[in-house]
Structure 1
């Protein structure tokens, strides 16, 4: 399976370039939606990416390795692609993933719930609309 199809690669590169321009020009950082979801088919690790660096390897987004503390930051596509799992499996791309929620909402929801999986269920169920407690 191709982890990063060309169409998604280009969109991630554009988001990364927009972020760099905002930093250079002292503008507010953009808050794009995640465009790529990678996951471990044998475990809880999940990554959402919204940007790709100029090097073509450094992704920016939300990583959840299954320890209950999703983290926003940079991760290497090459390192993720090199992971070898039991039975010859590898990290996979969720081919059906799409979102209209910005990365900041994903991050807030995943941290509150302790997992990207729970955040995805919550955002799908509630549509990102806060409930009575002001939470998505």
Structure 2
């Protein structure tokens, strides 16, 4: 599977040029056979360094390599995949807050709305 289409790459690069903003995740990658979920908001100009929320057992914000993700070889000829149905609905900070509370990346709307409201209260 191609992890990044030209459109996704363009959107991630545009976000990468505007660092410091709380971008909405553009793409979700996952390990179809086990642990590993990534919500990606940015791509550096090097075309390899992604930024977002990664969960490999404990969620954390940080950078990771597209080339390394593409090189992962799983059993049955599988690799890391892109969630074709994912649409980011909240800024990355909301996903990160919810993940911190749950101990894993959560995508259900109820948890994310709760996290968004909590972040709004904290900001007041």
Check whether TM > 0.5.
Answer: yes
Q: Which residue of 2 aligns with 1:8?
A: 8
> Counterparts of 2:3 and 2:76 in 1: how far apart (Å)?
19
Q: Which residue of 1 aligns with 2:122?
A: none
In the TM superposition, structure 1's runs of 4+ consecutive aligned residues that sit over 3 Å from their partners are none
- Structure with the greater alpha carbon radius of gyration: 1
Per the TM alignment, residue 83 of structure 1 is displaced from its structure 2 partner at its CA by 0.3
Per the TM alignment, residue 39 of structure 1 is displaced from its structure 2 partner at its CA by 0.3
Which of 80, 84, 89 in structure 1 is aligned with 2:78? Answer: 89
Q: Secondary structure at the match of 2:64?
A: strand
Gaps of 5+ in 1: 20-28
State TM-score, norm by structure 1. 0.81
Q: Which residue of the other structure, out of 24, 36, 45, is the alignment partner of 2:27?
A: 36
Q: Distance in 1 between matches of 2:41 and 2:33?
A: 24
TM-score (norm 2): 0.89
Give RMSD over aligned pairs. 1.7
Pairs within 5 Å for 1:1-136:
1-19=1-19, 29-65=20-56, 67=57, 69-116=58-105, 119-121=106-108, 124-126=109-111, 128-130=112-114, 134=118
Q: Give, in whole Å, the separation in 2 of the partners of 1:72 and 1:37.
A: 14
Tell me the distance in 2 between the aligned counterparts of 1:18 and 1:64: 24
Q: Alignment partner of 2:107: what SS?
A: helix
The 8 Å contact of residues 28 and 37 in structure 2, kept in 1 or not, is answered as yes
Unaligned runs of 5+ in 2: 120-124
